[in-house]
């Protein structure tokens, strides 16, 4: 039998792993997902071999780096769906999800694209959108959400929200909150609401 790793080595490995994830989250949040793996290794102060030993593919690094945000997104949608007032729950989800995405450009890119293709990430994203679609159906039944809303409209909102440019994180978040309020007004049903243009099929998943 092989001897187990000494505690100091196990500790070093854990430290390297957490440092890589911390750097990846920061880089992806500010610069998006296109930063090369070697650059992440350099900023984390580890060699490329160490990075690839912990995360064999960029897909695996992105997936784990955004695990916490994906869980937070799912929680937001679940809490909105649990609201006894579906329209209020729907509005709360729009506000909170836009805020979450405004704080992390990398997560928006990961959530919206077919990359990463990890099973758990894709399954969780699909579950979030399915729950949101159910909440939207119930909000329509209350008469508050316009009847022609489709889940692709939420995807469109997230894409637009992710494109907000600002000089600081605080300004970007403030702009996102205003944008979310405008989106909610657009989604609100009213007797004089004009019909929406045809649905655009957007690439996701």
Q: Are residues 38 and 87 in the same domain?
A: no
What pLDDT, on the 0 to 100 scale, is given for residue 42?
Answer: 95
- CATH code, 57: 1.10.10.60
CB atoms within 10 A of CB 186: 13
Q: pLDDT digit string (tens) for 56-100? A: 999 899 989 999 899 999 999 999 999 999 999 999 999 999 999
Say if residue 105 is in the same domain as residue 22.
no
The reported pTM is 0.80
Residue 198 lies in a domain: no
Q: How far is the C-alpha of 24 from the C-alpha of 46, rounded, in Å?
A: 13
What does the pLDDT average to over 152-180? Answer: 90
- Report, as an integer, the average pLDDT of 150-161: 93
pLDDT digits (tens, 9 = 90+) for 12-46: 778 889 999 999 998 988 788 889 999 999 999 99
Is residue 144 helix, strand or coil?
coil
Higher-confidence position of 187 and 108: 187
Of 64, 91, 106, which one is at a domain's C-terminal end?
Answer: 64
Residue 204 has a pLDDT of 67
Q: How far apart are CA 202 and CA 155, in angstroms?
A: 8
Residue entry with tokens 């030993």: 53
Residues 42 and 71 in one domain: no
User: Residue 53 is part of which domain span?
Assistant: 8-64
Whether 46 and 90 map to the same domain: the answer is no
Token pair for residue 164? 């907000």
How confident is the model at residue 132, as a pLDDT?
A: 97
Residues of the chain with pLDDT > 90, as a percent, come to 56
pLDDT of residue 3: 46
Q: What digits encode the pLDDT tens for the residues 108-152?
A: 888 887 666 666 778 888 899 999 999 999 999 999 999 999 999
188 three-state secondary structure = strand
Identify whether 3 is part of a domain: no
């Amino acid at each position: 039998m092989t001897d187990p790793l000494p505690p100091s080595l196990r500790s070093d490995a854990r430290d390297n792993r957490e440092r890589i994830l911390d750097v990846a989250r920061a880089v992806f949040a500010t610069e998006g997902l296109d930063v090369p793996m070697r650059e992440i290794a350099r900023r984390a102060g580890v060699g490329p071999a160490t990075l690839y030993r912990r995360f064999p593919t960029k897909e695996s690094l992105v997936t784990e780096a955004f695990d916490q945000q994906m869980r937070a997104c799912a929680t937001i949608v679940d809490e909105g769906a649990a609201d006894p007032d579906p329209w209020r729950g729907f509005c709360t989800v729009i506000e909170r999800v836009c805020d979450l995405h405004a704080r992390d450009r990398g997560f928006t890119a990961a959530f919206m694209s077919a990359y990463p293709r990890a099973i758990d990430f894709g399954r969780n994203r699909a579950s979030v959108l399915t729950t949101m679609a159910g909440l939207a159906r119930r909000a329509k039944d209350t008469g508050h959400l316009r009847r022609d809303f489709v889940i692709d409209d939420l995807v469109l909102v997230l894409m637009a929200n992710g494109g907000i440019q600002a000089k600081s994180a605080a300004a970007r978040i403030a702009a996102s909150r205003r944008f979310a309020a405008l989106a909610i007004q657009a989604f609100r049903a009213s007797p004089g609401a004009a019909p929406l243009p045809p649905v655009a099929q957007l690439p996701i998943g």
